[in-house]
């Protein structure tokens, strides 16, 4: 400080003693027994340098040499001191003093202007980053507003924030400014007011910002206390530039924007506040826009009032969570073509706090636990199926392409009935038991009571042979019923297809290719689970339950005992599908060279009986005993000379096949075939 008057020196001594006794600061003052020789050494360890200004130096007062030594230490030793520890220098304007009193050596340092009137204040920097601000209660301790205004000091221009306290009823208040995503940049203060003082208005306009803070996001928090009650607040804002706050050019308002900040104290309700333009600007209206993730949610127009500040609380969709942003723009009815800048708020995230995440996690965990418990109870109840429960009714649709294939489907239906608790309906087994024995009436009645429809893949028909079996072409009737019933709104049964080991996906009828598909015998357990419980549990649990749950009666594990006949029939059908058709109508179809050439594609090298005897395999043996190595299936009919065209027309290049030769065909194990 500068020695101006005796009262001023006494005030500085009182200030230093107050900082020592009540603010936990080691205040160093020349009049408090600080030797002059230690001044430069102290400059190496200080954290704060406080410059208290004066109104004018009185020449009749003795000026201590210590003042010049202090200035020298601050000006020359400060860079070296800052290399050891953080050092902050600022100025304090006492009542009735102005910025012009600041010495040039302190112009680049932080300046504060505080109105001393029964108010005690404390200065903090590093410690305030750990301050906590409670949500508190709304006890009407007074209003707290932010005001931004331009300030020019010689060659420098800044945007300065002023905190305005009105209707002060609190006795203690602390506040903090912190830069968003840079918590090391903080500025905070704590005030104490005697309850005997009545203060209608109090302001604090310390400049802690500079020109590099333009468009940065800051968070302002405060906590006021009166007796045992507390009130807290939290504001978000972007610091505008000097030009956006400059009011000197009233004729050109295209650069000016109203200062805007958002009160998030009662989140998820958001209150946006902005300063009105001076009356000399002639602005009559303000346009407010609310965005959520860049999507325009609301637009409102406000008329100017006599108040300094306008506000709007966005809480129409409580509770609403998102990323909100506000824009305020000037509107002048007298100037339709005028374009004004918009004042933007930071993006406010609502509903992403740790407490909300924890609450959602706990509630979600309880819901999932209850859901899994209900599913587990239902699952166990369904597995304890009494014998009196009616088995699901299932219709089997297939093509009678060969005798062995018909036998496979018949054994499949018998196995489902006897061991799997499924009422399988099959034309060959059930049509003959009706009074009329009419396939059309039987299918019509069956579709009215079905729970499931199984469409079985069938090997392609040989054009030379046609269908076999008792009821030919009945699959066309069944598929027509399926299409008609499926298009109706009252059709509730489930439809799926089954791919047999000796068939391909092309062998599934087009009407059933887009339904759920099961491969036998690989998906046998999944198919049984679908038939019994597929429509009662969520789809994502079906595969898990079928894999981990208890085995159902008639499952794949029972095949070695109860499914021997079904496996043998499937093996015989596979062998039959690989044999060459030797029907006598082959030559009647006009098939000579081209047909034989296609047949030869199925025949592996023809072995002469005179050279070697091909190994024969009994196709009736169990499929589980079939070796994965290449095996030979027994040929039941060779190619007869009578089947070939021996007239000489178009037969060039055709080898005559001896009647005694056998046709060799490779067969693979069902479990290792690539289906």
Please determine, for residue 326, whether its predicted confidence score (pLDDT) is greater than 90. Answer: yes
Residues 6+ apart with CB under 8 A from 600: none
pLDDT digits 0-9 by tens, 348-390: 988 655 555 666 788 888 888 887 777 676 666 555 554 556 8
Q: How large is the average pLDDT for residues 160-189?
A: 87
* 230 strand-pairing partners: 225
pLDDT of res. 317: 56
Q: How large is the average pLDDT for residues 540-544?
A: 58
Residue recorded with tokens 């090997």 = 459
Residue recorded with tokens 């075939």 = 673
pLDDT digits 0-9 by tens, 432-490: 888 888 888 888 888 888 889 999 998 887 665 655 656 667 777 888 888 877 776 66
Please determine, for residue 192, whether its predicted confidence score (pLDDT) is greater than 50. Answer: yes
User: Domain residue spans in the chain?
Assistant: 1-113, 393-572, 590-675
Mean pLDDT of the chain: 71
> Can you list the alpha helix ranges (DSSP code H) found in 508-563?
524-533, 539-548, 559-562
Fold classification of 393-572 is: Rossmann fold (3.40.50)
Backbone dihedral region for residue 520 (phi beyond 0: left; psi -120 to 50: alpha; all else: beta)? beta
Residues 6+ apart with CB under 8 A from 70: 30, 39
Q: Please check whether residue 455 is in contact with residue 516, taking contact to mean a CB–CB distance below 8 angstroms.
A: no
* 235: nearest Cα among 226, 223, 246: 223
Q: Please check whether residue 516 is in contact with residue 530, taking contact to mean a CB–CB distance below 8 angstroms.
A: yes
Long-range contacts of 609-617 (CB under 8 A, 24+ apart): 609/660, 609/661, 609/662, 614/662, 614/664, 617/667
* 382: nearest Cα among 522, 245, 235, 541: 541
Please report which confidence band the pLDDT of residue 669 belongs to, taking 50, 70 and 90 as the band edges: low
Torsion of CA 418, 419, 421, 426, to 10 degrees: -50
| Alpha carbon of residue 140 to chain centroid | 41
* 94: nearest Cα among 71, 117, 124: 117
* 303 strand-pairing partners: 285
Q: What is the largest CA-CA distance in the chain?
A: 147
More confident residue, 579 or 120: 579
Burial of 660 (0-12, 13-18, 19+ CB in 10 A): exposed
């Amino acid at each position: 400080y500068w020695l101006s008057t005796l009262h001023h020196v006494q005030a500085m001594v009182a200030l230093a003693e107050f900082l020592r006794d009540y603010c936990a600061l080691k205040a160093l003052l020349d009049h408090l027994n600080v030797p002059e020789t230690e001044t430069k050494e102290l400059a190496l360890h200080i954290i704060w340098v406080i410059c208290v200004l004066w109104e004018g130096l009185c020449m009749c007062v003795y000026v201590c040499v210590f003042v010049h030594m202090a200035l020298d230490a601050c000006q020359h030793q400060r860079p070296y001191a800052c290399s050891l520890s953080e050092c902050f220098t600022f100025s304090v304007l006492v009542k009735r003093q102005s910025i012009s009193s600041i010495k040039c050596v302190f112009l680049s340092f932080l300046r504060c202007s505080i109105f001393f009137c029964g108010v005690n204040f404390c200065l903090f920097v590093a410690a305030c980053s750990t301050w906590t601000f409670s949500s508190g209660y709304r006890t009407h301790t007074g209003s707290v507003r932010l005001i931004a205004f331009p300030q020019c000091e010689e060659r420098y221009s800044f945007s300065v924030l002023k905190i305005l306290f009105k209707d002060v009823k609190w006795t203690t208040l602390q506040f903090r400014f912190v830069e968003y995503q840079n918590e090391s940049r903080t500025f905070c203060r704590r005030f104490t007011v005697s309850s005997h003082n009545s203060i209608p208005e109090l302001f604090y306009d310390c400049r802690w910002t500079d020109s590099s803070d333009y468009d940065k996001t800051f968070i302002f928090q405060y906590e006021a206390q009166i007796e045992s009650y507390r009130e807290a607040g939290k504001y978000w804002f972007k610091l505008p530039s000097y030009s956006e706050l400059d009011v000197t050019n009233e004729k050109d308002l295209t650069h000016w924007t109203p200062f805007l900040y958002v009160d998030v104290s009662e989140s998820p309700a958001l209150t946006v506040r902005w300063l009105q333009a001076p009356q000399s600007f002639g602005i009559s209206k303000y346009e407010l826009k609310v965005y959520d993730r860049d999507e325009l949610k609301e637009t409102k127009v406000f008329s100017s009032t006599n108040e300094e500040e306008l506000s709007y609380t966005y809480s129409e969709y409580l509770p609403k969570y998102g990323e909100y942003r506000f824009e305020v723009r000037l509107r002048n009815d007298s100037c339709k073509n005028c374009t004004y800048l918009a004042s933007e708020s930071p993006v406010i995230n609502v509903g992403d706090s740790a407490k909300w995440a924890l609450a959602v996690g706990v509630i979600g965990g309880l819901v999932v636990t209850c859901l899994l418990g209900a599913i587990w109870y239902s699952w166990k109840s369904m597995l304890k199926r009494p014998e009196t429960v009616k088995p699901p009714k299932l219709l089997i649709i297939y093509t009678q392409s060969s005798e062995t294939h018909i036998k496979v489907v018949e054994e499949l239906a018998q196995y489902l009935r006897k061991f799997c608790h499924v009422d399988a309906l099959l034309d060959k087994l059930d049509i003959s038991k009706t009074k009329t024995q009419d396939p059309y009436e039987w299918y019509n009645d069956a579709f009215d009571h079905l729970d499931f429809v199984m469409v079985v893949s069938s090997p392609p028909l040989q054009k030379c042979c046609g269908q076999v079996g008792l009821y030919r072409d009945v699959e066309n009737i069944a598929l027509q019923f399926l299409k008609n019933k499926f298009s109706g709104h009252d059709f509730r049964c489930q439809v799926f297809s089954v791919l047999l080991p000796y068939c391909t996906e092309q062998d599934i009828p087009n009407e059933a290719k887009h339904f759920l598909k099961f491969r036998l015998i690989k998906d046998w357990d999944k198919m049984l689970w679908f038939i019994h419980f597929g429509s009662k549990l969520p789809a994502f649990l079906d595969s898990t339950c079928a894999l981990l749950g208890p085995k159902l009666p008639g499952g794949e594990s029972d095949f070695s005992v109860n499914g021997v006949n079904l496996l043998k029939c499937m093996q015989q059908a596979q062998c039959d599908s690989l044999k060459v058709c030797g029907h006598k109508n082959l030559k009647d179809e006009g098939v000579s060279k081209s047909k034989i050439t296609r047949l030869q594609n199925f025949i592996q090298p023809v072995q002469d009986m005179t050279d070697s005897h091909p190994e024969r395999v009994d196709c009736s043996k169990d499929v589980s005993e079939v070796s994965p190595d290449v095996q030979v299936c027994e040929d039941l009919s060779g190619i007869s000379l009578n089947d070939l065209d021996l007239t000489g027309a178009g037969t060039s290049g055709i080898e005559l096949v001896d009647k005694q030769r056998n046709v060799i065909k490779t067969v693979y194990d069902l479990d290792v075939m690539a289906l």
